[in-house]
């Protein structure tokens, strides 16, 4: 009799929070991509979001879904990257720059708390969560924070103090200077330890210099940056990004990654793409 092989489920590579785009619309303009006259196709947006979620899951991540019940007045809540920056079981919540998004904090806080996270976060200075704060380096020992358009550099010391745990990390505030790339996750994407892709011209000279001292950086072209090629979801060796950034795709392949293209056109009408729709949570 043949021995029964025990099937071991493959270990998940990441855990990601997404919010269903039930109420997603473009009805105000808080970045240069948003034009309320350019209506979102609701059904298309839902299909694109479902496809993104399926692609993330296929790549080996677990996706948690936040249902935006009671949040019909918050059309940008699909962009969960902005909810908080998370380290271990601590979630440092966003304090949104624009009035239009301030109400989202309550819903993210509720979800994070009910899923075992300790929620922190001052409301003294604007800070826009993982949209402006990306972990990189060995054991995530570096936090790259975009400042200027949305996040106030004065928010960073409180954040560093509150997220402290047994793994020390360094916070690097870097100034964003191109209004099209108003969150750091629109122009910088850490891959594995010590390596990232970026669109250098989105940062001021000091930031460019400081970033180069911290991490190996591979540039993307302006053409690809405008396709949100840096706004990518990294799951192990898979990089999920908006369709059209073909040169970035080839470059990722050379670096040993597998690009997975998804159509994010409806979300780009709001100035967001794949990564903006996700918040990485610890496993």
Q: Could you give the residue numbers annotated as active site? A: 183, 276
Site for ligand ARG in 121-160 (CB under 6 A): 131
Per rule CB under 6 A, is residue 81 in the interface with ligand ARG? yes
DSSP secondary structure letter of residue 95: B
Question: Which helix (DSSP H) or strand (DSSP E) does residue 233 occupy?
Answer: strand 233-235
Asked if residue 21 lies in contact with residue 243, where contact means CB atoms within 8 angstroms, the answer is no
Parallel, antiparallel, or unpaired for β 216-219 and 233-235?
Answer: unpaired
Question: Residue 162 belongs to what H/E stretch?
Answer: helix 156-163
Chain position carrying tokens 């996706």: 63
Q: Min. distance of Cβ 173 from ligand ARG in angstroms? A: 17
Among 85, 234, 274, 276, binds ligand ARG (CB under 6 A): 276
Q: Tokens 């908006």 — which residue? A: 242
Within 190-249, the residues that bind ligand ARG by CB under 6 A are: none
Which of 76, 104, 109, 224 is the binder for ligand ARG (CB under 6 A)? 76
* Site for ligand ARG, residues 88 to 117, rule: CB under 6 A: 101
CB 61, CB 14: distance < 8 Å: yes
**Binding to ligand ARG in span 14-43, by CB under 6 A:** 30-31, 34
Instruction: State which residue, 31 or 122, has the beta carbon closest to ligand ARG.
Output: 31
Question: Nearest distance from residue 163's CB to ligand ARG, in Å?
Answer: 18
Structure tokens at 154: 């004065």
| Site for ligand ARG contains 272 (CB under 6 A) | yes
Answer yes or no whether residue 278 interacts with ligand ARG by CB under 6 A: no
Of the candidate residues 186, 227, 242, 248, the single one contacting ligand ARG (CB under 6 A): 186
Question: Which residues, at least 6 apart from 205, have a Cβ–Cβ distance to it below 8 Å?
Answer: none
Dig out the tokens for 53 from the structure: 């979620």
User: Residue 181 or residue 257: which is nearer to ligand ARG going by CB?
Assistant: 181
Q: What is the spatial distance between Cα 263 and Cα 258, in angstroms, rounded to a whole number?
A: 17
Q: How far is the CB of 1 from ligand ARG (least distance, A)?
A: 56
| Phi (first) and psi of residue 139, to 5 degrees | 50, 30
Shorter beta-carbon distance to ligand ARG: residue 189 or 215? 189
In DSSP terms, 203 is beta-bridged to 176
Binding site for ligand ARG (CB under 6 A): 30-31, 34, 76, 79, 81-82, 101, 131, 183, 185-186, 270-272, 276
């Amino acid at each position: 009799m043949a021995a029964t092989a025990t099937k071991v489920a493959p270990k998940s590579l990441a855990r990601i929070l997404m919010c269903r785009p039930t109420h997603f619309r473009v009805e105000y303009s808080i970045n240069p991509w948003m034009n309320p006259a350019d209506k979102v196709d609701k059904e298309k947006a839902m299909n694109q979001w479902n496809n993104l979620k399926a692609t993330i899951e296929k790549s080996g991540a677990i996706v948690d879904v936040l249902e935006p019940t009671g949040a019909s007045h918050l059309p940008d809540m699909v962009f969960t990257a902005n909810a908080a920056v998370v380290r271990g079981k601590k979630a440092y919540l966003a304090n949104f720059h624009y009035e239009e998004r301030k109400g989202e904090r309550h819903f993210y806080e509720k979800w994070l708390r009910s899923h075992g996270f300790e929620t922190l976060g001052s409301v003294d200075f604007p800070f826009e969560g993982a949209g402006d704060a990306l972990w990189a380096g060995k054991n995530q020992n570096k936090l790259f924070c975009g400042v200027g358009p949305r996040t106030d550099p004065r928010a960073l010391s409180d954040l560093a103090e509150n997220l402290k745990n047994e793994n020390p990390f360094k916070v690097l505030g870097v100034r964003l200077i191109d209004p099209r790339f108003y969150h750091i996750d629109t122009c910088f994407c850490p891959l594995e330890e010590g390596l990232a892709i970026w669109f250098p011209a989105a940062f001021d000279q000091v930031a460019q210099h400081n970033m180069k001292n911290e991490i190996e950086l591979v540039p993307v072209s302006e053409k690809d940056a405008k396709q949100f090629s840096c706004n990518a979801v990294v799951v192990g060796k898979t990089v999920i990004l908006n369709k059209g950034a073909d040169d970035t795709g080839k470059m990722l392949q050379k670096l040993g990654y597998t690009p997975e293209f998804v159509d994010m056109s409806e979300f780009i009408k709001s100035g967001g793409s794949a990564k903006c729709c996700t918040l990485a949570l610890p496993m």
